[in-house]
Amino acid sequence: MCGIFCSHKHPDVNGFKPQALQLAKAIRHRGPDWSGNIICNNTILTHERLSIVGLDSGAQPLTSQDDTLILAVNGEIYNHRVIRKGFGDKYKFKTHSDCEVILYLYAEYDIDAPKMLDGMFSFVLYDSKKDRVVAARDPIGITSFYQGWNSSQPETVYFASELKCLHPVCDKIISFPPGHIYDSATQQTTRYFQPKWWDADLVPDTPLDLRTIRTTLEKSVRKRLMAEVPYGVLLSGGLDSSLIASIAARETRIESDGNNHLDSRKSADNLVGIDDQGHLKTVSKYQRLQSFSIGLPGSPDGIAAQKVADFLGTEHHNYTFTIQEGLDALRDVIYHLETYDVTTIRASTPMYLLSRKIKAHGVKMVLSGEGSDEIFGGYLYFHAAPDKRAFHEETIRRVKNLHLADCLRANKSTSAWGLEARVPFLDKDFLEVAMGFDPQEKMINGERIEKWVLRAAFDTSSEPGAEPYLPNDILWRQKEQFSDGVGYGWIDALKDTAAANISDEAFANRENIWKVDVPDTKEAYWYRQMFDEQFPPQCASTVMRWTPTWSKQSDPSGRAISTHVAKYQHA
């Protein structure tokens, strides 16, 4: 991940530059490899770079051939080679950056440019001829992105990858909506992402095709192995991360001309080609796929992750943390996450600690399993869905809000340490397939557990001679939310510590402190208190608290759901 901070139509842009550079520095953790900035007219674009593709020539902001277009991007464009190829010799590219194609897509298609992109991204592009800024965010909001205004500067607009850049200069801030593009010429923000599944009123009736589910996810993983740096996989031992790790392990095998495999300890970097469908035929290869997990000693996920790693033959790093280490990190976690949501903080803390360990290995990019539970209704509360329409509507609601929950967690927990997380389940093509069949197939009932569709798609037991993707007991393991799976003592300790820190008197007075979005537990109160100590009031409106539907539980943990095997005793 990289970091961007930009301001358009600033009344004194040159005088503002020193402060702009300091604000950009606040997100240097996202891009520790290089810093850049460009001022043109009354606009400034700054960039903090994490180099993954185009290492030697991809410094930003990027400029067009005639220097009239200026671009700052946070993200990865997986189909950039296909786009370049489509331009032929029309444009002269200055770098090998995957992001440079955005300049010329804008030149060709104006604000329709994001429709042609396959990737995760937030960008700000300045057209100096028109004194115009356009800004866009990827369809699901995998990359974090915010927009702000200052009431004393009515014509000025600001953009940044994180809130901490904006709140010192903005008194109004929003989370930039995923799948949208802003145009300063009209001051309108419009939705460019218009998939078939977007309208929750239209319940699909397309028959389920398990093979398409499998092949589309495999292509999604393959695309996300585009890198010129060492990469790895996050492996919790749950279904989602284990499947991604399994596919990645298959894709990163170094094959000879025949069917024989070369020694996996050898490397063959940057073997890249494009097939007729625009997919990468080969990927960058490194010595042995590395996998990473974290948990309390003896945690459910740690045990399962080691079993998966042994099965796949990855070079596995299984770390443990103590409850005190997690508690000590909470304030920093909230600073990086920029949220007070209970579920996000619970799950982000071990991910934040693990990301630091991963960075120490020299790994700069990891694949992660976010999105599957939202797409397939994997959370245990989905068992209470009254019918397939309600089930489908809830999956769409969850996917649309991922940028405020799991995507925010994955992006900011890793970016805190200059690590990039890629999420294959949120590929546009995979979403079209996985959200486009009859949702009755996703329903949890006596015959089917949560995410039966995904499990069945990768179950090769009925395919003679087929290599299994995962051990059977992992493929069919019950859902553990990450905050539970790292060790049940983690959430218990958070609740106990919050109860010790927040008095009954203070908790009873909470409605006098917060007029909206009032905390409903002492744990939520504790997190909100730490958030308010670090962020002013205009930041709170960007936060959404995660709560399960069809459940009366105030605790969002999966263990609070009655169908969990290791449920809370009082549930």
Binding-site residues for L-glutamine, please? 98
Name, in order, each residue with C-beta under 8 angstroms of 570's C-beta and a sequence gap of 6 or more. Answer: none
Neighbours of 432 (CB within 10 A): 13
Parallel, antiparallel or unpaired: strands 180-183 and 315-320: unpaired
- What span, in angstroms and rounded, lies between the C-alpha atoms of 308 and 238? 9
- What span, in angstroms and rounded, lies between the C-alpha atoms of 555 and 551? 10
Name, in order, each residue with C-beta under 8 angstroms of 566's C-beta and a sequence gap of 6 or more. Answer: 488, 559
- What span, in angstroms and rounded, lies between the C-alpha atoms of 303 and 312? 15
CA dihedral 519, 523, 526, 527 (to 10 degrees): -80
Residue in 2, 6, 165, 170 annotated catalytic:
2
- What span, in angstroms and rounded, lies between the C-alpha atoms of 285 and 368? 18
Cβ pair 172, 132 in contact under 8 A = no
Residue numbers belonging to the annotated binding site for ATP = 234, 294, 368-369
Which pair of structure tokens corresponds to residue 235? 């492996």
- CA 76 to chain centroid, in Å, comes to 12
Report which of 110, 112, 104, 95 is spatially closest to residue 49, judged by C-alpha positions: 95
Residue numbers belonging to the annotated binding site = 98, 234, 294, 368-369
Residue 2 appears among annotated catalytic residues: yes
- What span, in angstroms and rounded, lies between the C-alpha atoms of 391 and 159? 35
CA angle 427, 141, 215 (to 5 degrees): 5
Report which of 174, 4, 408 is spatially closest to residue 182, judged by C-alpha positions: 174
Report which of 319, 256, 244, 243 is spatially closest to residue 282, judged by C-alpha positions: 256
Query: 559 by DSSP, 3-state: which?
Result: helix
The residue to which tokens 């090769």 are assigned = 460
Report which of 125, 134, 13 is spatially closest to residue 69, judged by C-alpha positions: 125
Cβ pair 399, 182 in contact under 8 A = no
Report which of 497, 495, 456 is spatially closest to residue 476, judged by C-alpha positions: 456
Residue 366's identity, in one-letter code, is V
Q: Which residues are catalytic?
A: 2
